[in-house]
């Protein structure tokens, strides 16, 4: 089963709105059209709107770092799902260990956030993972099981593929101490087994499980090559464009679709790339070089495409529409009923 890799940057409490714009611009310039892996930026709430404007029309998506499960009301300082959707946010991190530790978030509360995200077409990135004491006490898998099962309570089979799970061993976060590939793969495989028990193998195979905790360009290729590691949730290394871009490139090399992997490796496919490499992910119409602009001539009836590239011109327009649609959060089956 090929799962598209996902690299998400969790900026935590870093970057003002204008610093965020600078960083997002650098990222977009380098990898804004990359579609062989999914890329998500999660700035603080105060930078969501300005960073969202930079991402408009690009394939990089916008994520938030938290949400409140209630629809609205007297919850000073909190942000609702509807507010996030209003800024075209498509993903939201829930249950990060920093929220569990410093803000006392419980599994039940986190579960409400997961359900609220899904009900509002936001893809939750559910964070799970053990502390150092729990690992040393031999309870890693029990803790992860509790986080996964409680976090997903009431999530239906229809909804589960919209959920992304991030395994983040707390002892590896911000410490420079990364889990070994064996340690990480063991827990990822365990999470996949849990999902298989809950939802059956075909669905469990579709859910992406990210690794988070001191992931850097140097250790990413080995981690991303593991069978059950489908990407990364990146803290420190997402705050600097160079390292984040390198992480995305590692993900492309590790798991982009074959067509794109060839391109990432600088190789040519048997069938030549469409002109300008623009077919799959074209620049917006207004920036398109003249040879790719479809010509239209006025006619009495419906306008007709007249270039020898007529078919391609239509495809380019369709792709344009798809690009724009994918920037907004894509709806997925409604969350009317929970198990």
Positions annotated as catalytic residues are: 96, 168
SS3 state at 197: helix
Secondary structure letter of residue 144 according to DSSP: H
Contact flag: residue 213 with ligand 13P (CB under 6 A)? yes
Contact flag: residue 220 with ligand 13P (CB under 6 A)? no
Contact flag: residue 233 with ligand 13P (CB under 6 A)? yes
Residue from 32, 236, 256, 282 touching ligand 13P (CB under 6 A): that is: 236
Is the CB of 60 or the CB of 335 nearer to ligand 13P?
60
Residue from 5, 6, 10, 55 touching ligand 13P (CB under 6 A): that is: 10
108 CB contacts (<8 Å, ≥6 apart)? 150
State how far the Cα of 29 lies from the Cα of 99, in Å rounded to an integer.
Answer: 32
The least distance separating ligand 13P from the CB of residue 42, rounded to whole angstroms, comes to 8
Is the CB of 65 or the CB of 161 nearer to ligand 13P?
65
**CB burial of residue 251 (10 Å; 0-12, 13-18, 19+):** buried
The least distance separating ligand 13P from the CB of residue 210, rounded to whole angstroms, comes to 9
The least distance separating ligand 13P from the CB of residue 175, rounded to whole angstroms, comes to 7
The least distance separating ligand 13P from the CB of residue 101, rounded to whole angstroms, comes to 11
* Interface size with ligand 13P, residues (CB under 6 A): 14
Binding window for ligand 13P (CB under 6 A); candidates: 32-40, 206-214, 292-300, 319-327: 206-214
253, 215, 206, 256: which is closest to 233 by C-alpha? 215
What tokens appear for 237 in the block? 């290394």
- The residues in 73-102 that bind ligand 13P, with binding defined as CB under 6 A, are 96
DSSP per-residue codes, 261-322: HHHHTTPPPSSPPPGGG-SSSPPPGGGS-GGGSPPEE--SSS-EE-STTHHHHHHHHHHHHH
State how far the Cα of 175 lies from the Cα of 183, in Å rounded to an integer.
Answer: 16
Q: What is the largest CA-CA distance in the chain?
A: 79
Contact flag: residue 174 with ligand 13P (CB under 6 A)? yes
Residues that bind ligand 13P (CB under 6 A): 10, 96, 168, 173-174, 212-215, 233-237
């Amino acid at each position: 089963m090929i799962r598209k890799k996902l690299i998400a940057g969790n900026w935590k409490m870093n970057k003002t709105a204008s610093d965020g714009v600078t960083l997002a611009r650098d990222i977009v310039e380098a990898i804004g059209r990359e579609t062989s892996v999914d890329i998500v930026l999660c700035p603080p709430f105060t930078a969501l709107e300005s960073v969202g404007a930079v991402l408009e029309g690009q394939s990089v998506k916008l994520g938030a770092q938290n949400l409140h499960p209630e629809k609205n009301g007297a919850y000073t300082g909190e942000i609702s799902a509807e507010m996030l959707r209003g800024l075209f946010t498509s993903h939201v991190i829930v249950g990060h260990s920093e929220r569990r530790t410093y803000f006392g978030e419980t599994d039940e509360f986190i579960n409400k956030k997961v359900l609220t995200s899904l009900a509002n077409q936001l893809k939750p990135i559910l964070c799970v993972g053990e502390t150092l004491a729990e690992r040393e006490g031999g309870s890693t898998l029990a803790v992860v099981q509790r986080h996964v099962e409680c976090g997903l309570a009431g999530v239906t089979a229809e909804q589960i593929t919209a959920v992304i799970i991030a395994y983040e061993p707390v002892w590896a976060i911000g410490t420079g101490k990364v889990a070994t590939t064996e340690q990480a793969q063991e827990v990822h495989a365990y999470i996949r087994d849990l999902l298989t028990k809950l939802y059956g193998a075909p669905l469990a195979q579709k859910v992406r499980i990210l690794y988070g905790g001191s992931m850097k360009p140097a250790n990413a290729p080995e981690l991303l090559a593991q069978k059950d590691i489908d990407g990364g949730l990146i803290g420190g290394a997402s705050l600097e464009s160079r390292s984040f871009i390198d992480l995305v490139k590692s993900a492309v090399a590790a798991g982009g679709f074959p067509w794109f992997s060839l391109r990432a490796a600088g190789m040519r496919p048997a069938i030549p790339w469409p002109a300008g490499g623009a077919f799959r992910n074209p620049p917006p119409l207004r920036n398109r070089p003249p040879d790719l602009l479809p010509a239209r001539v006025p006619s009495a009836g419906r306008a007709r495409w007249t270039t020898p590239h007529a078919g391609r011109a239509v495809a380019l327009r369709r792709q344009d529409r798809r690009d724009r649609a994918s920037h907004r959060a894509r709806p997925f089956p409604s969350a009317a009923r929970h198990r």
